[in-house]
């Protein structure tokens, strides 16, 4: 299931320093973290709009866009998707309320 994530992570890493003219990923890296973060905001908004419209196909496509751009932001920040999954596994079985309390969130 996550094989495509690993492949995308490898592709994203390989695009670092590639020509921004020929690669969308390289163009995002070239424009910097703020631009990548901005794309996350846009894709998140589009995902929310798709969810609210009730269009499952559109929601699937927008969620894929969001996840793709999140992988780029994670790569830029030096975090792997495996590390995100490990954090989710760490929380497994912990109540959401307890998790918030552990982080000092009321």
Query: Which residues of this chain interact with ligand PRT, rule CB under 6 A?
Result: 11, 15, 23-26, 42, 65, 68
Residue with smaller CB distance to ligand PRT, 25 or 50 = 25
Q: What does the CA dihedral 33, 96, 66, 16 come to, rounded to 10 degrees?
A: 40
Which of 18, 84 has the CB closer to ligand PRT? Answer: 18
Which H helix or E strand runs over 76?
helix 56-76
Comparing CB distances to ligand PRT, the nearer of 24 and 60 is: 24
Minimum CB–partner distance for residue 26 and ligand PRT (Å): 6
Taking the complex as a whole, the smallest distance from the CB of residue 33 to ligand PRT amounts, in Å, to 15
Burial of 71 (0-12, 13-18, 19+ CB in 10 A): buried
Structural tokens at position 30 = 């070239």
């Amino acid at each position: 299931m996550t094989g495509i994530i690993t492949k995308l992570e490898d592709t994203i890493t390989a695009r670092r320093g590639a020509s921004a003219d020929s690669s969308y990923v390289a163009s995002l890296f070239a424009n910097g973290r703020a631009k990548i973060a901005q794309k996350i905001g846009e894709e998140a908004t589009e995902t929310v709009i798709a969810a609210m419209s009730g269009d499952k196909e559109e929601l699937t496509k927008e969620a894929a866009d969001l996840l793709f751009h999140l992988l780029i932001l994670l790569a830029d920040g030096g975090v792997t998707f495996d590390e995100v999954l490990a954090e989710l596994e760490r929380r497994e079985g912990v109540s959401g309320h307890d998790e918030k309390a552990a982080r000092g969130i009321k």
